[in-house]
Amino acid sequence: MKLDFNFSNLDSAAMNLDSIEKELIKAHEYVCEGSGKGSDFLGWRDLPAEDVESEVGRIKQLADLIRKKADVLVVIGIGGSYLGAKAVISALQPAFETNEHRHSCKIVYAGNSLSEDYMNDLLNYLKHKEFCLCVISKSGTTTEPAIAFRLLRNALEKKYGMKEAKDRIVAITDESKGALRRMCIENGYDSFIIRDDIGGRFSVLSPVGLIPAAVAGVDIEALLYGAKIMRDRLMNDASLSNPSWKYAAIRNLLYRNGKKIEALVSYEPALQYFASWWQQLYGESEGKEGKGLFPVGISNTTDLHSLGQYIQEGERLMFETVLHVEKSKRSIAVPIEENDLDGLNYLTKYSLLQVNHIAEQGTRKAHLDGGVSQLTISLESLNERELGGLIYFFEFACALSAYLLGVNPFDQPGVEAYKRNMFELLGKKK
């Protein structure tokens, strides 16, 4: 994975990385030595480096079993309990089902909203499908997934009976405590552990993300290998040549110089949900104590026709981090037509990928000319190894960046505020 940083339109004094080097050294120590705020939540750091052969083997066996008995796997979770899996699957799987991918089953999601219409639609859809459930929750009592699990468990038991239903449920939860763990013990559900030292938004390389991905046909060993390579690179380089240092430093220096919004921009629709995962990672890690950049995902060229005007000529609050994908899985040429009524024959010398890259190049130049600062992260292609490295890069850089802000990267006290109000209004017993 290449990391290219464009310093155009940046104040040279503001972008003096040497000015923040001492802070970076300390932040790096906090992450690598576990000496900073929230150090009891650093379990994600070593996930790809641990001997996980037996765990991966068990996950692959489970995935094979689910694919044999189900057309659909319903992943029940909210936030980091589903966004990481959805990001990986969306990035790596074909946009549309084809005969060559029938070895995998369809992944759908529940427990990420309280929409009655969505749940009704899902229950009706599942009536005519063979399905299994994967419920992900440390506590088993988080409102959205808990309601979804109760409804879907009821539908599963009605369709298959109690005995078979339990064999179609896998839970990913706390090792020893919580309502979902008690359900596993009482009902005999197969289960995997969410470690206490791994928070939800950092859990994609654990069973939380790996099980749905494996069921979808993702090569999880290659995903972990890419993350391991990146881990070794970042953990062992305590210098300004470390790409995670550069990313954390640049975004913090831009923030200190008045930028309030970071847009993660891609030109591949497959990365749309990766941006959603990134939004949670940085939003929950940094957005506290009145601090932090606002993270927003942008999918071009689609969003050029909605947000492009604001980015080009609106208030100068934003900078862009562009995810550039160099290669596609297969090439498509623009066909030549004799009458050329749509005026596109001039494009026939290009592949569609080349047209997309030229659109990206033109957009980036326009935004630079308009005063929008940019960083670029280049991937050779969208594959498991590259994506695993990208996931780990953003996780490591996020921890550094939060420490540069002076906040705990691993807590989310603000999330509890809406929960208290909701429970009070619903009349939940204390």
Phi, psi at 76, each rounded to 5°: -105, 115
Q: Does position 99 have pLDDT exceeding 70, yes or no?
A: no
Rg of the Cα atoms in the chain: 23
pLDDT score at 11 = 60
35 beta partners: none
The pLDDT mean for the chain works out to 93
Q: What is the DSSP string of 326-392?
A: ---SS--BPPP-SS-TTS-GGGTTSBHHHHHHHHHHHHHHHHHHTT-EEEEEEESSSSHHHHHHHHH
CATH label of the domain that carries residue 48: 3.40.50.10490
Query: Do 236 and 176 have their domain in common?
Result: no
CB-based contact 365:420 (threshold 8 Å): no
Query: Do 214 and 266 have their domain in common?
Result: no
Q: Residue 425 domain-assigned?
A: no
Query: Do 21 and 128 have their domain in common?
Result: no
pLDDT score at 414 = 84
pLDDT category of residue 3 using cuts at 50, 70 and 90: low
pTM of the entire structure?
A: 0.95
Query: Do 68 and 187 have their domain in common?
Result: yes
Query: Do 181 and 250 have their domain in common?
Result: no
- Residues 36-47: pLDDT tens digits? 999 999 999 999
Q: Which two tokens stand for residue 226?
A: 């890419």
Dihedral, CA of residue 344, residue 347, residue 352 and residue 358, to nearest 10: -120
pLDDT category of residue 51 using cuts at 50, 70 and 90: low
pLDDT category of residue 100 using cuts at 50, 70 and 90: low
Q: Does position 4 have pLDDT exceeding 90, yes or no?
A: no
- Residues 148-191: pLDDT tens digits? 999 999 999 999 999 999 999 999 999 999 999 999 999 999 99
Query: Do 51 and 190 have their domain in common?
Result: yes
Q: Residue 68 domain-assigned?
A: yes
Query: Do 164 and 253 have their domain in common?
Result: no
The region of weakest confidence among 52-66, 280-294, 299-313 is 52-66
For the chain, how many structural domains are there in total?
2
Q: Residue 429 domain-assigned?
A: no
Q: Which two tokens stand for residue 175?
A: 């090792």
Mean pLDDT, rounded, for 331-336: 94
Rounded to whole angstroms, how far apart are CA atoms 298 and 320? 9
pLDDT score at 49 = 78
Query: Do 324 and 394 have their domain in common?
Result: yes
- Residues 231-256: pLDDT tens digits? 999 999 999 999 999 999 999 999 99
The beta strands (E) that lie in 77-127 are given as 106-110
Query: Do 100 and 249 have their domain in common?
Result: no
Domain boundary, last residue among 218, 235, 253 = 218
Q: Residue 295 domain-assigned?
A: yes
Distance of CA 402 to the CA centre of its chain: 18
pLDDT category of residue 101 using cuts at 50, 70 and 90: low
Query: Do 253 and 157 have their domain in common?
Result: no
Q: Residue 336 domain-assigned?
A: yes
Q: Residue 410 domain-assigned?
A: no
Q: Residue 169 domain-assigned?
A: yes
CB burial of residue 308 (10 Å; 0-12, 13-18, 19+): middle
Q: Residue 135 domain-assigned?
A: yes
Q: Does position 328 have pLDDT exceeding 60, yes or no?
A: yes
Query: Do 191 and 89 have their domain in common?
Result: yes
Mean pLDDT, rounded, for 179-204: 95
Rounded to whole angstroms, how far apart are CA atoms 48 and 228? 5
Domain boundary, last residue among 187, 218, 249 = 218
Percent of the chain with pLDDT over 70: 94
374 beta partners: 320
pLDDT score at 14 = 60
Query: Do 187 and 246 have their domain in common?
Result: no
Residues forming the active site: 284, 305, 419
pLDDT category of residue 422 using cuts at 50, 70 and 90: confident
Which residues span the domain enclosing 378?
2-36+223-405
